[in-house]
Structure 1
Amino acid sequence: MASIKYRLKKNKSDWASIYVRFKQGNQFDTEAITSLDCPVERWSDSKQEVLSTQLLSYKEVNKKLSEFKIYLKNEYEATKVVEQTILINNKWLKSKIDLFFNLQNIEQKEKEKIYFTDYIDAFILDSKTKRSRLGNPIKPRTIQHYNTTLNKIKAFENEKNVKIKINEIDLDFHNSFIEFLENKQRLNNNTIGGYLDDIKLFCNNADKKGIQISNDVKSTEFYSPTNKTNDIYLTEEEINKIFNCTFEFDYLDNARDWFIIGLRTGLRISDFLCLTKNNIDNDGFINKTTFKTDYPVIIPIHEQVKSILKKRNGEFPRKISDQKFNEYIKIVSEKAGITEMVEGSRIDKVTIDDGKGKKTNIHRKVNKKYPKFELVSSHICRRTFATNLYGKLDTLTIMKITGHSTEKQFLSYIKITPKEYAIKLKALWEKQKE
């Protein structure tokens, strides 16, 4: 009968690793290290266990040693009922030690190959130390979006009372998931499209690792929904109204100055709100490496920005948070008379019914007509800059200033309406007639 015995490997330390010896007459005699160790003085060779000690959880160690003996005997007996001959040697013993003492890790790794949310968890964890092809770390905002997508999938699983496998991400899932996000979560198409983009990324990554995915993911029917947004921009006349407006309170004057700087530089809020005079070079240009894309841009200083800097003795306005900026520029725009009713989207309170009589208030983007100042936010700065220069400068020049890498990205910022194009054409014909 096979025998299993533990021993400590002698060394100069006060602690030693526990080894297991597995022997069956003349058939095999092999030994390997376990993942456990204990104080040398507290090991009992006769009892085959760790004696009482405060230096470690000795009861837990002894329990594992006892359970491993049973596990190893069962694994050995299982080899006798299979058709092929299994060689019991050091490699076999090590594999059994790995499977037993790291059982939870092994189980999790197996789950990551089967279940979608487990795979995404591992993908996100890996993303925190991963580098792009250019050697840059994955942006925290990107990882945050991965987590949001994961949470939406978990919410979908809870709604359907299922745990979705990776190979079940197919057109049926696609259609049900979109319906859930539209009707239950009340999300718009662009937001839903962002989640579907992540899902396709996760699936393609799994495919590259040899994990089976559905062919549906690669079909054109597995699309990411989108819709045309009614984003607004400010005309030159409206910008000038804001610039020339006088404010009673300093906090509004300070916010207005930052607003003008954003509108006249085309930078994102994460870039223009941290400008200092150190960003101005000897030739009078603003130099800034953008936070989001790590792209260096050089921007000439507009006359209105020069006026603001002169008013402040060469310094940029006082620092404020993104939240306060977005709050204050709505007040600034209203006081400057930007009150025209326009079609647009903003976050509003929406009441949803779960179908069982329970109503919940959530906040979602709602598209309808609002006074224009209510739709003003930091995003309008970059959009306004690109729109007002479009057609006056060549596209490539504007892109070099805004930092857009593709024309498609850039054109998504152009918000000139069809009627405005028609008015431009009418003005041209009037000029030609004169």
Structure 2
Amino acid sequence: MAELRFIIRDMEAKKPQSICIKYYFGKDTLLYATRLKVLPIHWDPEKYRVKNTKYCIEKDDLNENLQDIENAINKYIIQSVKDGFIVNKEKLKHFLDIHFGKKQENKAVKNLHEFFQQFIDQNETRFNENSGKIIGYRAKLEYKRTFSTLKKFESEKEINLDFEDITLDFYSDFVAYLQNLDLATNTIGRHIINLKAVLNSATEKGINKNLMFKQAKFKALTEESFSVALDESELEILHKHDFSNSSRLEKTRDLFLIGAWTGLRFSDLTRIKKEYIKNDILTLKQQKTGGVVAIPMLPIFKEIWDKYNGEIPLDISVQKFNENLKDVCKAAKINSVVEKIITKGGKRKIDQKEKWELIGSHTARRSFATNMYKSGFPTVSLMQITGHKTESAFLKYIKVTPEEHAKLLKKHWEKYSKPEKEEK
């Protein structure tokens, strides 16, 4: 009887291992390595899945991908039986090679619609070429939304697009259509980026010959995303606020403050262990980039660490954390009015919000970078923690007003001009 399992070949390894498909055909067995990888300590050999552990940030994506693979195999086998074919080791391997993009399916893609759908289908097992990681659920959903939006555009215009129709005239019409939907500039830009990714893939495979999408004018519209940071006085308000009547809010506040005084992403914040701290220095390998950061335990971080005896509250999802955080900041009256400026439908709009409404998990990291910069901490050293590759990208990331820049310049001038005055 045929049986499917997912296994790790070396459960003693200390580095991430490939997750393999093991399929039994009676006495015969197919062992097929996927491009999915996981640390053996995070693997459940009895359930054939990644453990439900907070220390594996990609567990949900990995398990979703494994389920997608299992569903695809079962669907293929059921259809083969219906068609009167017997699936053996060689045929299943051939199917998996096509499924994972190692081989081209004999069936030729005829048009843009068919290729776009194939691209979306293959996203279930596609890897990001830059990061080497599986494409996340959100990215997969965005491609589906772009395809759906493109088809609605065709329906409204009563046209049927193919590769040769993707011209600069199409681009102008499509962007105008998206603006009429009252979409934000960055949302429009994301649709263009997704479309260009599909066209690039079709071009690389020799299916698309039209290169108009590579023209400079065929560009993804963008504007700086709106975000906020808390200054040191606001962080102190949070620090001093009494949340003793709510353990939920107190733990959320404390975790946020650790983030605001370390600059760690939420995915790293929830992985801090006692063994990562020596001589009041936190050394940790970042989940997203793989880079190692060393961060001193600043006073508030150390105070909270000691409060929990090194067992800080980590077991919470980012969604729940963000919900709690808004309650925390609202209760602490972080309620100064902020003007949120955004371009929607091609028109600049101003929306007034109380600051607590705009605060999320990433605000902690942005607050750290902003406050350290304002205190005079070297930009190059800060970039080692934030992961920014260029100073220009870092300066866009932080939230420093023109008035604050003027004060920094004045402070710098007073500091370095004082010795000259004394000499005179």
Does 1:382 pair with 2:378?
A: no
> Which region of structure 1 is more displaced relative to structure 2, 334-343 or 303-312?
334-343
Once the two structures are TM-superposed, the CA of residue 308 in structure 1 deviates from its matched residue by 0.8
Match of 2:115 in 1: 119
Output one character per residue of 1:382-434: Cα deviation in whole Å (capped at 9) or x when no partner.
22122222262333311211223444543331221212223434556778799
**Equivalent residues of 2:326, 2:357 under 8 A apart:** yes
**Residue number among 300, 304, 308 corresponding to 1:304 in the alignment:** 300
**In structure 1, how many angstroms separate the alpha carbons of the residues matched to 2:145 and 2:194?**
10
Say if 2:297 is the partner of 1:314.
no
Q: Which residue of 2 aligns with 1:373?
A: 356
Question: 1:217-256 counterparts in 2 under 5 A?
Answer: 217-247=213-243, 248-256=245-253
CA distance in 2, matches of 1:159, 1:338: 46
1:404 is the counterpart of 2:388: yes
Output the amino acid matched with 1:147.
Answer: K
Alignment of 1:286-365 (within 5 A): 286-317=282-313, 319-344=315-340
Alignment partner of 1:232: what SS? coil
| Count of aligned residue pairs for this structure pair | 312
Task: Indicate the SS of the match to 2:109.
Answer: helix
Task: State the 1:150 CA deviation.
Answer: 2.6
- Aligned to 2:316, the other structure's residue is in SS state coil
Question: Given residue 323 of structure 2, which amino acid in structure 1 is its aligned partner?
Answer: E
Instruction: Give the letter for the 1:399 counterpart.
Output: M
What is the distance in 1 between the residues matched to 2:352 and 2:398? 20
1:265 to 259, 262, 265: 262
- Structure 1 runs not aligned, ≥5 long: 1-55, 62-104, 353-364
Q: Contact 1:157–1:164 at 8 Å: present in 2 too?
A: yes
Task: Work out whether 1:204 is the aligned partner of 2:200.
Answer: yes
1:413 matched to 2:400: no
- Describe the shift of the 1:150–1:381 C-alpha distance in structure 2 as closer, same or farther (beyond 3 A): farther
- State how far apart, in whole Å, the 2-side matches of 1:190 and 1:244 are: 38
Q: Could you list the runs of 5+ residues in structure 2 that have no partner in the other structure?
A: 1-80, 85-104
Q: Secondary structure at the match of 1:334?
A: helix
- Secondary structure of the structure 1 residue equivalent to 2:197: helix
SS in 2 for 1:313: coil
Q: Which has the larger radius of gyration?
A: 1
SS in 1 for 2:338: strand
- How far 1:233 sits from its partner (Å)? 0.9
1:424 paired to 2:408: yes
Q: Distance in 2 between matches of 1:220 and 1:276?
A: 45
Which of 1 and 2 has higher RCO (CA within 8 Å, sep 6+)? Answer: 2
**In 1, distance between residues paired with 2:140 and 2:330?**
36
% of aligned pairs identical? Answer: 36
Deviation at 1:215, TM superposition (A): 3.6
CA distance in 1, matches of 2:131, 2:335: 47
Match of 2:278 among 282, 295, 303: 282
C-alpha change, 1:394 and 1:290, in structure 2 (3 Å) is same
Aligned positions of 1:84-233 closer than 5 A: 109-111=108-110, 114-115=111-112, 117-131=113-127, 136-140=132-136, 141-184=138-181, 186-233=182-229
Aligned to 1:76: none
Deviations 1:295-322 (A, max 9, x none): 3333222221111111112211252222
Distance 1:162 1:134 in 2: 35
| Post-superposition CA distance 1:139-158 (Å, at most 9, x none) | 32443433333333233334
The answer as to whether partners of 2:251 and 2:313 remain within 8 angstroms in 1 is yes
Q: Give CA deviations for 1:105-152 in whole Å, capped at 9, x if unaligned.
A: 76x6232xx22x322232334444445557823332443433333333
Q: Once structures 1 and 2 are overlaid, which stretch shifts more, 165-174 or 122-131? A: 122-131
Q: How big is each residue's C-alpha offset from its partner over 1:246-278, in whole Å with a ceiling of 9 and x where there is no partner? A: 123111111100110221222222332x22424
User: Is the alpha carbon distance of 1:132 and 1:154 closer, same or farther for their aligned partners in structure 2, counting shifts above 3 Å?
Assistant: same
Change (3 A) 1:324 1:127: closer
Kept in 1: contact 2:123–2:135 (CA 8 A): no
Whole-Å separation in 2 of the counterparts to 1:395 and 1:124: 41
The two structures have a TM-score, normalised by structure 1, of 0.63
**Distance in structure 1 (CA, Å) of the matches to 2:126 and 2:272:** 32
- Tell me: CA distance 1:287–1:279, structure 2 relative to 1, closer, same or farther (3 Å): farther
The DSSP-based 3-state class of the residue aligned with 1:390 is helix
Relative distance call for 1:318 and 1:219 in structure 2 (3 A) is closer
CA distance in 1, matches of 2:197, 2:205: 13
Which amino acid is the alignment partner of residue 321 of structure 1? S
1: CA distance between counterparts of 2:125 and 2:378?
40
**Equivalent residues of 1:230, 1:343 under 8 A apart:** no
Structure 1: distance between partners of 2:131 and 2:405: 43
Cα gap change, 1:193/1:135 in structure 2, threshold over 3 Å: closer, same or farther?
closer
Structure 1 residue matching 2:218: 3-state secondary structure: coil
Does the 8 A contact of 2:274 with 2:310 survive in 1? no
Identify if the C-alpha distance between structure 1 residues 323 and 133 changes in structure 2 by more than 3 Å, giving closer, same or farther: closer
CA contact (8 A) 2:281 2:295 kept: yes
Using the alignment, how far apart are the partners of 2:122 and 2:391 within structure 1? 32
CA contact (8 A) 1:344 1:375 kept: no
Q: Is the CA contact (8 Å cut-off) linking 1:252 and 1:328 kept in structure 2?
A: yes
Measure, in 2, the Cα distance between the counterparts of 1:302 and 1:125: 48
